[in-house]
Structure formats: C-alpha cells, structure tokens
Amino acid sequence: MFFERRLKGPIRTVYFLKRLRVLAALWGIACLLACSAHAGPQVDPAAPSAEMSTNAGVPASQAPVEASGPPAGYRLGPEDVFNILVVNEPELTTVARVGRDGFIEMPLVGRIQASGLTVEELTHRIEEALRSGYLANPDVQIILQQYRQDVVHLFGQVGTPGPFRLTHGDTLLEVISKAGGFTPIAKRKAVRILRKEGDRTRVIVVNVRRILDEGRLEEDVPLMPGDVVIVPERFF
C-alpha cells in the first residue's frame, strides 16, 4: 500500500491495468482447470470399446470361448457329432450323430458302428464300406464337431462318490484317489468297471487289493470317458 500511494498520474494507471491483465489470465486458467476436472476421459471413436469383444455386438463376458479338441486317442461315443466328408462326392457328405446304440447313419452304406472307435478307425471303416460296391478309391475325412465331456462316475465305497473329470491317461487307482480313496468297508478285491461298447456293456473286474499289496501296477486299468466304477461293500 505504501508503494501504491507513491505512484502518481499515468504511471499509476498503467500499473493497475497490468495487474488487471494478470488477474484475468489467472482467472481464465483456473476456469479451464475446473472444466477439465469435471469432464470425462476422451474416447477415440475409432477405437473398440473395452466392454466389447471382437464379435460385433457381443459383450466380452459372453463371447464364445474356443473349445480345445479331444485328447489323442479319443474314442467316439453316444451324442458325439461330426462332419463326414467324402472327397469329390458331395452327395455323400453328411453330419452324423452317434446314437445311444453306438451307430451312425450314412448315405448308401446305412448304419455303421462308431462308438468305441477313434476318428481314424471310423474313417477306415467308412472307406471300406464305400469300397464294397460303391466307390473304387474313396477318400473320407471326419471333422469332430461336438464330443461328450470326459467324465467317469464312481459309486459305492469311496470317500466322495460322483462324477469326476477324467484326464487323458488316468487309471482306476488315480481316479479312486481323486475320490478320496476307499472307505474302511470297501471290497477292494472286486472293483467293477462298466464300459459301454456299442450296444453292449462290458464288465471289467479289478483286484485293487492285489495291485496295492503286491505292487502289480501293470494290472491297473486306464479308464475311458463314460466309464462307471462301482466299489462294493465288504461283508464281514
């Protein structure tokens, strides 16, 4: 204030004008900062939304997940679906579903058993059927579209009976271990495996007690998708 009182005439007027310009500039900067704080983030309209997948119109959480193929050596079973392509013979190309009886229907050759076979084995079987009076040198390709879950079911005297996801190569002992092992009253000498093969059910009896007591691991049985394992009760 002492300095301002000493300013006279035009000099004092110029001084106040400069101060007004500085205050106006500071006020403008404050307004811009306030507007930026309230504004939302800038969005590039050309960039894809983070909430959308590459499938147009489908939220990322609902986008289809690519399914992995079946394990090597997978054997076909009921409800499996696949395309059968006969090269250069479009009228024979078809989509087949394995029925509950284990068979499929195909043009010209009719019913063919598929359950229990690998894709390669079924391919050769269809080629043989077409070669018998229909085509001289058939070339068949099979593309598996839908296959059942690799699950086995355990019943009886195990810690946790029920369905269990089967990893390719799992054996009877490994799956029983997943189920919590045997109960104290399990009859380990007569564990049964029920396996569907075509239109019949095969029963495999395994003496697990001998495998464990004598170390006969070669007698342990690899399980297949759809197997049913029954551990009976031991009666004293």
Position 14 confidence tier, pLDDT thresholds 50, 70, 90: very low
Asked if pLDDT for residue 18 goes beyond 80, the answer is no
For residues 197 and 4, the model is more confident at 197
Helix (H) or strand (E) holding 85: strand 81-86
pLDDT of residue 43: 41
Token pair for residue 57?
């119109």
> pLDDT averaged over the chain?
77
Res. 46: pLDDT tops 80: no
- Residue 23 in tokens: 């205050």
Residue 197 to residues 5, 63, 71, 163, 167, Cα–Cα distance (Å): 111, 37, 19, 20, 20
141 phi/psi in degrees, rounded to 5: -130, 135
pTM over 0.75: no
d(CA 199, CA 48): 53
Please check the confidence at residue 49 and state whether its pLDDT lies above 80: no
User: Which residues fall within 8 angstroms of residue 69, CB to CB, at 6 or more apart?
Assistant: 144
When pLDDT is cut at 50, 70 and 90, the band that residue 149 belongs to is: low
Tokens linked to 12: 């004092």
Per-residue confidence (pLDDT) for residue 39, from 0 to 100: 47
pLDDT in tens, 70-83: 666 778 888 889 99
Over residues 32-53, the mean pLDDT reads 44
Instruction: Check pLDDT > 80 for residue 162.
Output: yes
pLDDT tens-digit readout, 96-142: 999 988 899 999 899 999 988 999 999 999 999 999 988 999 999 99
The secondary structure of the chain in percent helix, strand, coil, rounded to multiples of 5, reads 30, 25, 45
E strands of 93-217, at which residues?
A: 94-97, 103-106, 110-113, 140-146, 151-156, 162-165, 191-197, 200-206
